[in-house]
Structure 1
Amino acid sequence: MTPERFRELAETWGGDIARWPEAERDAARVVAQSESGGALLRQQLAFDALLSVPPEVAPARASRAALAVLQAIAAREARPPWYRRWLRPVSLLPVGSLACSALLGVWLAGALPYHQNEQAVATVAAVLDASVISLWGNQ
């Protein structure tokens, strides 16, 4: 076993060789007899001891953290998704009106040629003035 492999296993599995993969244990015990191997294992054992101590959290702090998480979730749920904010029915009304006006303009451009045809003008006037009652309109 190389010193690099020994360091890799010690950093991965910790300072206790009994937790290492079984195929690597015998070779690791041989390397651990050396000065550098023993120092590395002692360093990893100290780190393992540091990680094995559970943190002490006061109940009031845990309650405040839980409340903050719940408030963040509630704030996220209260805000509608982006597509509902941007595509509200109220904001679609002007867009739809503009689209219908454009379609009507394209239809009129195709229906009325450059030279005036009385029948085409009368048809367009009948469509546009169908609901208008006046003294001067078509009746």
Structure 2
Amino acid sequence: MSNDGKQDMDLERFRALVEAYGGDRKRWPEDRREAADRVAATEAGRALVREACRLDAFLALSATSLPPAALTGRILQSADKRITLRRRLQRWLVGAGLVGVGLAGGLTGALAVAVVAPPPQIPIADTATAFGNIMTEAEIAQEIQ
């Protein structure tokens, strides 16, 4: 710390400042500008500022122009279409997945019932049918009485 309460700056801090903000002192933060000016007055500081100014000039030459508004509109419109198609596909796949999970659950439940439940006890006789036993007329007459 210096006597006026401002931070002192060494060459490494000055190098970081110049690399971040460039060679133009107007772009340097005001609270560090005074200390940076003291370092910039040295030979090493002047070399760093010259190097940063050359880089600033090169970057200014390579500035690009903005694309036409029509191109920007077409790009945004095609992106919107792609997002819409992607959302539709995602919704369809989610629906298909839910149907698949429902079918798998139903089949699993049916299989569990078939495996776990005991088979029905149906007496098997020669006269048994799906509708009951075939009875002779004598047996029917006996049941009626």
TM over 0.5: yes
Aligned residue in 2 for 1:128: none
Q: What residue in structure 2 maps to residue 117 of structure 1?
A: none
> In structure 2, how many angstroms separate the alpha carbons of the residues matched to 1:78 and 1:70?
12
Instruction: Give the fraction of aligned pairs with identical amino acids, expressed as a percent.
Output: 31
The 1-side partners of 2:55 and 2:78 are apart by 32
* Structure 2 partner of 1:67: 77
> Higher Cα Rg: structure 1 or 2?
2
TM-align CA RMSD: 3.3
Displacement, 1:59? 3.4
Give the stretch that moved more between structures: 48-57 or 65-74: 48-57
User: How many pairs align?
Assistant: 117
Structure 1 residue 47, shift from structure 2 partner = 4.2
After TM superposition, which residue ranges in structure 1, 4 or more long, deviate above 4 angstroms?
46-49, 51-54
Report the 3-state secondary structure (helix = DSSP H, G, I; strand = E; otherwise coil) of the residue aligned with 2:51: helix
Q: TM-score, normalised by structure 1?
A: 0.60
TM-score between the two structures when normalised by the length of structure 2: 0.58
Deviation for aligned residue 1:93: 2.2
Structure 2, gaps ≥5 residues long: 1-8, 124-128, 134-145
Instruction: Give the match's secondary structure for 1:70.
Output: helix
The structure where helix makes up a greater share of residues is: 1
Match of 2:36 in 1: 28
- The corresponding residue for 2:16 is 8
| Mapped partners of 1:34, 1:79: distance in 2 | 65
